[in-house]
Amino acid sequence: SSNAESIETAPIVNSVPVIFLDRHPETIADKINVVTTDNESAAFALTMKVIESGVSSVAVFFNADNAPSHARKRGALRALAETGVSEFNKSDTIHGAVGCVASSQNELINFSKANPEVVLSGGGTFDKWIGSGLPFKRIFVCTQDFKGMADTAVKVLMGQFNGNGTDVKEIVRINYLSITEPE
Q: What is the pTM of this model?
A: 0.84
Give the tens place of pLDDT for each residue, 55-85: 999 999 998 788 889 999 999 999 999 999 9
Nearest Cα to Cα of residue 100 among 125, 77, 81 = 125
Residues 6+ apart with CB under 8 A from 17: 33, 157, 160, 161, 166
Give the tens place of pLDDT for each residue, 27-36: 666 677 888 8
